[in-house]
A and B are shown apart, each in its own frame.
Chain A
Amino acid sequence: MSLRIRVNGAAAECRASGALWLDGARALIVADLHLEKGSAYAARGQMLPPFDTAETLSRLETEVEALDPTLVVLLGDTLHDAAAEARLAPEARARLACLANRRRLVWVLGNHDAAGPGPLPGEALADLELEGLTFVHEPRPRAAPGEVAGHLHPCAKLKGRTGRLRRRCFVTDGERIILPAFGALTGGLNIRDTAFAGLFSRAPLAGVLHGERVHPVAFAALAAD
């Protein structure tokens, strides 16, 4: 079950997968895929599972099949590092090519993949404007309303009578939104962290991902780490 919200007036749907769906523009936005993170660690001697790219692409394909977007925006840090493109398995390349088939695929560039997607399909942009929204990788303090960003890997911590819970989440104040990291092996930063201060004009709402649902939770109900 998604969470339907408005961002700077545009109708948006926070999906349980962590993707954002703009019905008007038929646009699917995902942030921080960090493809080939596993192999980046393996190259340094930590053998994280080599399945992260396949897993992340499967999740993305599921959303594309369900929604049939005309535009897919990869909101930066799509590749984990500069050498990640070279490490992609042929199968992963083919799947990325399929994604760009019959639709526009935009790579907004991030700090991890500033060099761009190389020979991979799609257009590389520093930012993208659409329906009063600005798509960038890194959220900017005091940005104009309408900013859609990633980069911070927001996550929410909740304390209850029966324990605690830490989950990836969307964060929005209604004027701008930060997306959770979509990648299979990407960690999270608590949205009570100081890195989020100054990014919102008022206490934001967290859309907390849990199973098939996105739970709206007021900022005041969240715990710090």
Chain B
Amino acid sequence: MPEPFAAWFAARGWTPRPHQLAVLAEARAGRHALLIAPTGGGKTLAGFLPSLVELAGRPPRRPGEAGARGLHTLYISPLKALAVDVERNLLAPVTQMGLSIAIESRTGDTGVGRRERQRRAPPDILLTTPEQLALFLAWEGARSYFADLRRVVIDEVHALWPSKRGDLLALGLARLSALAPDMTLIGLSATVAEPGLIQDWLSPDPARPVSLVRGAGGAPPVVDLLLSQGRVPWVGHTAHHAMAEVYDAIRQARSALVFVNTRFQAEFAFQELWRLNEDNLPIALHHGSLAAEQRRKVEAAMSRGELRAVVCTSTLDLGVDWGDVDLVIQVATPKGASRMVQRIGRANHRLDEASRALFVPANRFEMLECQAAREAIAESAFDHERPRQGALDVLAQHLMGLTCSEPCDPDALYEEVRNAGPYASLERSGFDAALDLAATGGYALRAYDRFARIVRRSDGRLVARNRETVLRHRLNVGAIVSAAMLAVRVVSAKGGRKIGPQTRGGRKIGEVEEGYLDVLEIGDTFVFAGQTWRLEGVTGTEVLVSPAPGEEARMPSWGGSKFALSTFLAAKVRAMMSDESRWSALPADVAEWLGLQRERSIIPAPDEMLVETFPHGQRHFLVAYPFEGRLAHTTLCMLLTRRLERLRVGPVGFVCNDYALAIWTVRDLANLDMDALFEEDMLGDDLEAWLDESPLMKSAFKACALISGLIERRFAGGEKTSRQVNISTDLIYEVLRRHQSDHLLLRCAREDAAQGMIDIARLADLLCRIRGKIRHQALERLSPFSVSVIAEIGRQASPGQSAASLILEDASAGYDAQRWTQDLIARAVGDERMDIGNAEQSGP
């Protein structure tokens, strides 16, 4: 360790950690490195030490030399807040050592003046996000700006790489390698099962391998399980029964993070904790729908150590260090061991002290899952991931960006793209297809060649058509596509002011997805951001609400957890369930429940799948227990329903949770051949036919169309509302399906839907796993296990095509062809009369 760094460490009584020295050595040798270390291990400093050492060794700038040096180090973080926080943390040692190193952050919030200056006179170290990098690379000055680049540090790389954002970043890194061939990468990651996947992602080039550096593991976390003896519910997701115990745990902690899996659960837990909060502890709320300003306030209060607890969703999975947090509470199950370790790592960022966590299962199956997660954490076992194949819609966006930057040789571009991990095995045909998608929309019918957005110059190089094309591309950079959000704003309802299209709301309290309001009527009260509001009206892009304190309020559900139970954890749950010797670790009532299931039905062996059939009410039920997560189960139900229709047993509906699925039918199911019913060939034509019609495909297509640039999400003059975008993407989807069913965007959408939304890979694994291993029990009545899923009926909508027909049946019920005129008259004289004459006439 050179001076002044050695002295700086010594002055603080610190010794550089072995992994910090190892990263320094790798960087000096010009090798890429991946550092895997738990939180609290001085990981960020390890990432920056090589750059700081190099920069400290440079001769000082002479006066008037400003701007002559290029950017030395680029730091990329998935979170804006992290970039800003790291800037602050890095400035401290730099100032203390008296180093002359310019460090600046650049995010979407950075002002125009500062951005401009950062371009003219680059700092030594720039801290930014993947989207900002993509914008930089679409700029005409990119080549010279990055010519002196020595290093790129990628923080939280484990969270970035397996996503489209990761694809975009990997392409950006490949570009940077082309602009600055000597540049080295340092990836910073939390502990993962297979570091090799991230190493390959960082650099697939065998000539530039990535060295793996592992930090010493910290003290193993202490994870307690809230047993709630005698009170663990059979069903439910809210852990209502345990809130008093959660409150006690908060009271005994210095500061606690209370993680939940959905915003609904966050609002619910927050309400319940405040109901119990006799000591008036400062307990705050943090989730993705709250106004950004509100979230920042909570984060700031947390870093000042002013809060005793924050109830939060995955919005706080990543983020800045809060030294004071000494307890992480997970309400309802973590769904995956890796995510849980991340969350636990948010407590106590000191390596030598154990992090403390408390699991609060919401029902009996969750009790098994939490126990399995505890064991996984104790064994340091993690969920496995699959290698990443880069998405071609992201590639199309990237290629468009590069041709905005400078004229590009297509052959060189192809070689460059294959230097990005997720695109290492990309065929030339895939590259050409993505390029054509960006240029002319990728249509077999060559009608748009004359309108191409990318044109070929006489020297064969590709370049963006014109200035307007460039500007429009820059407005649409990024691979994050979220549902269109409506701002929730407060209006005063005083004076009986009428809410009309011209009404403008006041203070913004948050944002909600468009569909969220469908369950509410004007005048309904609901809980949001920890308070009760009355819905006053909805205008184009705003939801107008007024305060309604003290009123009985509804709490609209945002749906179940977006995380699926991980395969790894599911296998552990199955193993625990079938091994009676391990039941003693569970509360007595849960063990009894398992015993009851064994008595009334069976408990399957770990490699078996239990299927129960029984009559219930007027219907016959089939309940299966694959433990593969809600997504895979939903897909399986859709496919089973089609098959049951063909078998003429009259399927009526289905529900799923993470552990089980239930289908109910008109006719008895007990004599069905279960092996034939779950035969793997269901993943053929049935799957394709269903998927193409499903809303999932349409939303996947919309995301791909936006990312690829086929549809613009922003144009000069404002963002399109999703209604505008929706109309076009659904219609485009239909037209494309009929006329070019192998279009690149349709293929991208099918892949995304199969991977992320319906979990086909997992379903295929399941069907293979249970071949010949189905244990069918024909019962006379429902079993203890089946209660958990049957209880979901009525609380969930069944997805799929039949839903549309159902809505229409509902709406036109009671219609009589001969009487509709009379009906109309009757309605017209009632209060259904249209408000005629008041409204302005306007054409579309």
Contact = CB atoms under 8 A, between A and B. Distances in A.
Interface of A: 4-5, 39, 42-43, 45-52, 54-55, 89, 111, 138, 141, 151-153, 158-165, 173-174, 184-189, 194-195, 197-198, 200, 202-205, 208, 210, 213, 215-221, 224-225
A50 B518 contact: no
A39 B447 CA distance: 8
14 contacts: A45-B453, A46-B711, A49-B740, A51-B445, A55-B735, A138-B843, A151-B843, A151-B844, A159-B518, A160-B803, A184-B735, A197-B837, A203-B828, A219-B827
Nearest to A111: B843
B689 interface: no
A183 B732 CA distance: 12
A188 B840 CA distance: 19
B592 to A, nearest CB: 36
A42 B735 contact: no
B831 to A, nearest CB: 9
A218 B731 CA distance: 26
Contacts of B280: none
A158 B735 contact: no
Contacts of A89: 447
Given A42-B451, A202-B824, A194 B808 contact: no
B5 interface: no
A220 to B, nearest CB: 4
B825 interface: yes
Contacts of A111: 843
A217 B798 CA distance: 23
Contacts of A159: 518, 807
A151 B740 CA distance: 29
A198 B827 contact: no
Contacts of A194: 501, 839-842
A133 to B, nearest CB: 18
Contacts of B804: 163, 165, 210
B503 interface: no
A52 B469 CA distance: 24
A225 B518 CA distance: 10
Contacts of B648: none
Interface string B770-804: 00000000000000000000000000011000011
Interface footprint category on B: 35 or more
A194 B330 CA distance: 48
A141 B840 CA distance: 11
Contacts of B825: 202
Contact of A55 (B472, B739, B806): B739
A41 to B, nearest CB: 9
Given A47-B440, A111-B843, A187-B724, 6 more contacts: A160-B803, A161-B797, A162-B806, A198-B839, A203-B828, A217-B811
Contact of B732 (A39, A48, A210, A218): A48
B803 to A, nearest CB: 4
A205 B811 CA distance: 12
A152 B843 contact: yes
Nearest to B821: A174
A18 B738 CA distance: 18
Nearest to B840: A194
Interface of B: 440-443, 445, 447-448, 451, 453, 465, 468-469, 472, 501, 515, 518, 538, 710-712, 723-724, 727-728, 731-732, 734-736, 738-740, 797-798, 803-808, 810-812, 815, 817, 820-821, 823-825, 827-828, 832-844
A141 B735 contact: no
B443 A49 contact: yes
A198 B820 CA distance: 21
A216 B465 CA distance: 49
A47 B812 CA distance: 38
A162 B441 contact: no
A193 to B, nearest CB: 9
Contact of A202 (B445, B735, B736, B828): B828
Contact of B836 (A49, A162, A198, A220): A198
Contact of A153 (B805, B838, B839, B844): B844
Contacts of B472: 45
Contact of B797 (A55, A162, A165, A197): A162
B512 to A, nearest CB: 15
Contact of A215 (B811, B820, B843): B811
B628 to A, nearest CB: 24
B834 A203 contact: yes
Contact of A210 (B441, B448, B453, B805): B805
Contacts of B842: 194-195
A49 to B, nearest CB: 5
Contact of B448 (A42, A55, A186): A42
Contacts of A48: 441, 710, 728, 732
Contacts of B518: 159, 163-164
Contacts of A189: 844
A71 to B, nearest CB: 26
A185 to B, nearest CB: 5
B810 A160 contact: yes
A141 B841 CA distance: 8
A185 B731 contact: yes
Given A198-B837, A216-B820, A219-B834, A187 B731 contact: yes
B834 A50 contact: no
- Which of B518, B839, B844 is most buried by chain A, counting CB atoms within 10 A of its CB? B844
A77 to B, nearest CB: 10
A43 B838 CA distance: 40
- Which of A162, A188, A219 is most buried by chain B, counting CB atoms within 10 A of its CB? A162
A4 B832 CA distance: 23
- Which of B440, B453, B812 is most buried by chain A, counting CB atoms within 10 A of its CB? B812
Contact of A46 (B447, B712, B798, B817): B712
B844 A160 contact: no
- Which of B724, B739, B838 is most buried by chain A, counting CB atoms within 10 A of its CB? B739
Contacts of A161: 797, 806, 810
A217 B824 CA distance: 10
A174 to B, nearest CB: 6
A54 B701 CA distance: 22
Contacts of B827: 203, 218-220
Contact of A162 (B728, B739, B798): B798
A50 B815 contact: no
A91 to B, nearest CB: 11
B562 to A, nearest CB: 18
B812 A215 contact: yes
